[in-house]
Amino acid sequence: MRVYREEDASLEHLQGKPIAVIGYGNQGRAQALNLRDSGLDVIIGNREDEYRERAVADGFAVWPIAEAAERADIVMLLIPDEVMPGVLEGQIVPGLDEGNVLVFASGYGVAFGKATVPPHVDVVLLAPRMIGAGVRDKYVEGGGFPSFIAVHQDRTGQAKAIVLALAKGIGSTRFGVVEVTFAQEAELDLYTEQCFGPAFGQVLTTSVDLLVEQGYPPEAVLLELYMSGELSYTMAKIAEMGLVEQSQLHSTTSQYGSMSRGMRFILPELRQRMQQGLDDIRSGRFAEEWEAEQAAGCPTLQMLRESARTLPLYRLEHQLRHTLRGEPIPPELLESAEAPSAAIAPEAQAAAEATSARGSSAVARGGLFSGLVSTLRGLLAPGPAAAPTGSLSRQQLERVLRRFCQLVADDPALQAFSQGRSFTSHYVLGDVGLDFFMRFGDGVVQSALGVPVPPAEVRLETSAEVLDGMLSGRLNAMRAAMSGKLQFKGEAKVAMSQQQVQNDLVRLYSQARNEVLGP
């Protein structure tokens, strides 16, 4: 185990070498200020906009990107990964001389072959494990923060000494610097974003869902779980003392309870999912998918963002934050919170009210908390678990689905969607033992009850109730997926693409339902 510290790095390697910081955003500003305060010669390259004005106001000489790159010996790329390849090729590479140093802050572009670097320069990575504001604040306080460094190309034989010197210049060797490869940095970063973070998010939303359903006051649930700040304080202590040692800061009841019950959550499936996520990253599948998504104008990202904002938890958090500050809840939050309950079927609303009355002190308090109660209803009632089914029997559902499959196969809108695609979605309704599939391929749609052969690219598992709610338009499919009531296996991107025809599926299912069961 090797950690590089102050004594392992020397600023001598940077003497007489102008450094161009390209991009004056979160990291760019913080790193540029730290390097200058460490006595180094720093200029900025940025487009003409408010970032540029900020750099000028901070006293830097600011040049257009290409000119800054040309003037410097060391070029630090502090621009987003998405724009990196184009800026690098068009504006940076032409200005690089023999033996110059190209410094990345993220391994992504090089690791996944998106950024092409010329052979006549050093190519290194300096990636702080800290947000930009923290990079600056820690430096000013006299403290440090960790960074990853890597050497991809060592043209001068000095590449490692130079990147260590830069790490010292930004204040990172005060804490400690670890050497990795570009690929390791990129993969670890993506793993944290795509596996560790979402798994933790699911633990959190599952807990909110469970506890609110069980009648605990939502404001107490959110405070208990994370909104008090205790969790982030504990995480800081875990970083400082270690996972095991920090448990001594908690009561013996807590220690016994969490350690004795912890074994229950050793789930082989969790590890499998994480392995799957890592495989997606390491194979480059994620990078390819993300590149195609950007080329298409990010329609899926847009849809995911919108769906996330419809989660009841989103409004609940906002309402609680206003309430804790003693502020009235803005009308738009109350309106949007109450909107879903208007769509709730009477029996579901009654069930939600009964649950609220049982457990929620918010009901009694009224006033500011009334918004929380509305949201609680939203959380309970329109959620997939409590969706009104219209009490479809297995036989009724089978007849509806049989007709639905016929309509799907003959529908011109779905046939148009099928042009240029090739995938099958397999729906598994485990609770009623029904399967059906839709196969899209070159303008043709096949759909039938039963299990598809060959196996489908996308497998969607849910209950009859959730499927009926989703295809009747009462439930948001993306939200059902996000809340775990609809689980999919296979190609996420392919599964999400089907959202484009969700309205058509709702139209056809409603028609089938009406024909079979009557309006």
Asked if 27 is part of the footprint of ligand NDP (rule: CB under 6 A), the reply reads: yes
Choosing from 111, 124, 127, 334, the residue that interacts with ligand NDP (CB under 6 A) is 127
34 binds ligand NDP (CB under 6 A): no
> Which residues, other chains included, contact 455 with Cβ-Cβ below 8 Å and sequence gap of 6+?
426
DSSP 135-177: HHHHHHHT----EEEEEEE-SSS-HHHHHHHHHHHTT-TTT-E
Decide: is 25 part of the binding site for ligand NDP (CB under 6 A): yes
Binding mask 87-126 for ligand NDP (x = CB under 6 A): x-----------------xx--------------------
For residue 458, what are the β-bridge partners?
425, 490
Pull the structure tokens for residue 185: 């940095």
172 contributes a contact to ligand NDP by CB under 6 A: no
Closer Cβ to ligand NDP, 32 or 438, answer by number: 32
- List, in order, residues 6 or more apart from 36 with CB less than 8 Å away: 42, 60
Q: Which of 23, 359, 383, 469 binds ligand NDP (CB under 6 A)?
A: 23
The reply to whether 181 sits near ligand NDP by the rule CB under 6 A is no
Q: Is 128 in the site for ligand NDP (CB under 6 A)?
A: yes
Query: Cβ closer to ligand NDP: 64 or 473?
Result: 64
Among 62, 68, 78, 117, binds ligand NDP (CB under 6 A): 78
How far apart are CB 31 and ligand NDP at their closest, in Å? Answer: 9
What residues have CB less than 8 Å from 423, skipping those under 6 apart?
A: 439, 440, 441, 456, 457, 458, 491, 494
Comparing every residue's Cβ against ligand NDP, the nearest one is: 25
Give the rounded distance of the alpha carbon of 352 from its chain centre: 31
210-269 positions binding ligand NDP, by CB under 6 A: none
Q: Which residue has the tokens 């693409």?
A: 497
Among 85, 132, 146, 441, binds ligand NDP (CB under 6 A): 132
# residues contacting ligand NDP (CB under 6 A): 22
Residue 436: CB atoms within 10 Å: 22
Interface positions, 39-58, toward ligand NDP (CB under 6 A): 46-47, 49, 51
Residue 457 in the binding site for ligand NDP (CB under 6 A): no
Residues 139, 34: contact at Cβ < 8 Å?
yes
3-state secondary structure of 44: strand
Distance between CA atoms of residues 281 and 458, nearest Å: 19
Q: Which residues bind ligand NDP (CB under 6 A)?
A: 23-28, 46-47, 49, 51, 78-81, 83, 87, 105-106, 127-128, 131-132
